[in-house]
């Protein structure tokens, strides 16, 4: 049975790809038409906020009001000039974000800061660089659909919470073997006491970065396995279980095995990010569970006198966050306890990532559902591309 060519279904499917966090599955995905234009509301908000922050204390009273209206006139003039260049009405809102709009976003706030603000050229340069960073980050987040992707990943939180007991039961013995030794080590508490906040964040960040790196090593192999289909019937069967507008009656009637357009580099990266999103949710849940466990454990296991013996804290400088009387004894919550529990939680996340990389039984138990959903998206992509080819 041939696929019914329906432009409306194609448009619906493209929106579905964006919602599922795989926008690069869209045929002819364009940076200007599909990414920058979708960024327009965000860039417009940043633009307006920066306009109000570029005016300093050089003017007051009516002079300040005049400067404000002069800035508004400059902004309206810049947007109107871009519209006239494109042969559009002067006061029309931009429909597309292209080179002209990007230049306005970068140049106009910086120009207003130089004309009416208190800072010199250095402040102007900082603002331009800041806008470039915002533009780059916004482009990456929008291009790969990170917001809907993590919304999809968070949608699995309920299922992940149901599996958390199994997850911890499988990994907890090994985690406790190493983490308890770290937690009840006097040197660890002294190190936590000596950490400055910035160094502590750097150390935790490095451990989490290593955990993400371990996950990233495995993802390309998982991605390649998900993109292979044996028959068109299999593709249609998978698409039927998704909420995309394709089903079992969409068999294109082509010979097997299916010849599907291979994923390009951005598409491959998009799929890898989708795979990692779910793994990161699991990793965060494990880290939170371990961190909370050791905070409670530390309240009862590490008393105030013990902390004074393990660190260079003196009785006079000892300043706990709070103290509680439980069962006739006093427990103390300290910054050192939070720091050590956070370190152990980050270590647990790293250990979890290594287990996810090496334990095949674990992957089959906790990763199959995620792989199945991504495989459904790729099956819909195969039918969608075939329909695009038939239209052309």
The torsion angles phi and psi of 186, rounded to 5 degrees, stand at -60, -40
* Mean confidence (pLDDT) of the chain: 77
Mean pLDDT within 349-361: 73
Same structural domain for residues 207 and 345? yes
pLDDT at 273 over 70: yes
Task: Give residue 48's pLDDT.
Answer: 77
Residue 252 confidence (pLDDT):
67
The residue ranking higher by pLDDT, 10 or 57, is 10
User: 182 is in which domain, residue-wise?
Assistant: 155-227+262-358
Mean pLDDT, residues 44-72: 70
Q: 1 falls in which pLDDT band (50, 70, 90)? A: very low
Position with higher pLDDT, 370 vs 47:
47
Residue 255 lies in a domain: no
Residue 95 maps to a domain: yes
Whether the Cβ atoms of residue 116 and residue 58 lie closer than 8 Å to each other: yes
Which of the pair, 311 or 357, is modelled with greater confidence? 311
Asked if 292 contacts 164 with a C-beta cutoff of 8 angstroms, the reply is: no
pLDDT at 369 (0 to 100): 66
Would you say residue 128 has pLDDT above 70? yes
Give domain status of residue 387, yes or no: no
Q: Is residue 121 very low, low, confident or very high in pLDDT (cuts 50, 70, 90)?
A: confident
The whole-angstrom separation of Cα 66 and Cα 51 is 14
- Say if residue 190 is in the same domain as residue 332: yes
Confidence tier at 3 by pLDDT (50, 70, 90): very low
Q: How many domains does the chain fold into?
A: 2
Q: H or E stretch including 310?
A: helix 304-310
Strands (E), the chain: 322-326, 329-333
| Three-class secondary structure of residue 331 per DSSP | strand
Return d(Cα 370, Cα 367) in angstroms, integer: 6
Are 170 and 48 within one domain? no
Considering the chain, what percentage of its residues have pLDDT values greater than 90? 1
What's the CA gap between 312 and 315, in Å, rounded? 10
Residue 81 lies in a domain: yes
Q: Is the pLDDT of residue 156 over 70?
A: no
Res. 58 pLDDT band, cuts 50 70 90: low
User: Residue 278: inside a domain, yes or no?
Assistant: yes
How many other C-beta atoms can be found within 10 angstroms of the C-beta atom of residue 217? 11
What mean pLDDT do residues 1-10 have? 61
Pair (139, 159) in one structural domain: no
User: Can you give the pTM of this predicted structure?
Assistant: 0.64
| Whether residue 126 is found in the same domain as residue 215 | no
Tens-digit pLDDT profile for residues 194-211: 888 898 889 888 888 888
Q: How many Å is the Cα radius of gyration of the chain?
A: 28
Judged on CB neighbours under 10 Å (0-12, 13-18, 19+), 340 is buried
């Amino acid at each position: 049975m041939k696929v019914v060519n329906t432009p409306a279904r194609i448009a619906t499917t493209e929106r579905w790809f964006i919602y599922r966090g795989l926008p690069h599955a869209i045929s002819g995905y364009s940076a200007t038409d599909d990414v920058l234009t979708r960024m327009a509301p965000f860039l417009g908000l940043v633009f307006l906020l920066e306009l109000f922050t570029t005016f300093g204390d050089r003017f007051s009273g009516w002079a300040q009001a005049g400067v404000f209206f002069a800035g508004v006139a400059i902004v309206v003039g810049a947007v109107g000039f871009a519209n006239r260049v494109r042969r559009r009405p002067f006061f029309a809102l931009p429909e597309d974000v292209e080179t002209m709009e990007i230049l306005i976003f970068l140049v106009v706030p910086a120009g207003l800061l130089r004309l009416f603000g208190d800072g010199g050229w250095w402040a102007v340069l900082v603002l331009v660089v800041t806008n470039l960073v915002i533009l780059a980050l916004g482009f990456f987040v929008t291009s790969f659909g990170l917001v809907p992707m993590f919304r999809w990943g968070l949608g699995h939180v309920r299922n992940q919470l149901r599996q958390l007991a199994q997850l911890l039961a499988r990994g907890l013995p090994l985690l406790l073997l190493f983490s308890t030794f770290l937690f009840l080590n006097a040197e660890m508490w002294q190190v936590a006491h000596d950490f400055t906040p910035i160094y502590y964040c750097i150390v935790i960040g490095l451990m989490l970065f290593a955990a993400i790196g371990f996950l990233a090593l495995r993802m390309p192999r998982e991605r390649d396995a998900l993109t292979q289909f044996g028959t068109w019937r299999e593709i249609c069967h998978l698409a039927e279980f998704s909420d995309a507008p394709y089903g079992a009656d969409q068999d294109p009637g082509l010979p097997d095995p299916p010849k599907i357009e291979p994923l390009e580099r951005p598409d491959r990266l998009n799929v890898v990010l989708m795979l990692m999103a779910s793994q990161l949710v699991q990793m965060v849940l494990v880290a939170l569970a371990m961190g909370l466990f050791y905070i409670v454990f530390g309240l009862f296991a590490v008393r105030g006198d013990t902390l004074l013996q393990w660190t260079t804290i003196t009785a006079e400088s000892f300043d706990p966050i709070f103290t509680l009387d439980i069962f006739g004894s006093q427990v103390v919550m300290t910054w050192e306890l939070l720091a050590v529990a956070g370190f152990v939680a980050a270590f647990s996340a790293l250990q979890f990532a290594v287990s996810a990389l090496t334990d095949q039984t674990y992957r089959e138990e906790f990763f199959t559902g995620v792989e199945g959903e991504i495989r459904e998206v790729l099956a819909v992509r195969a039918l969608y591309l075939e329909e695009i080819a038939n239209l052309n």
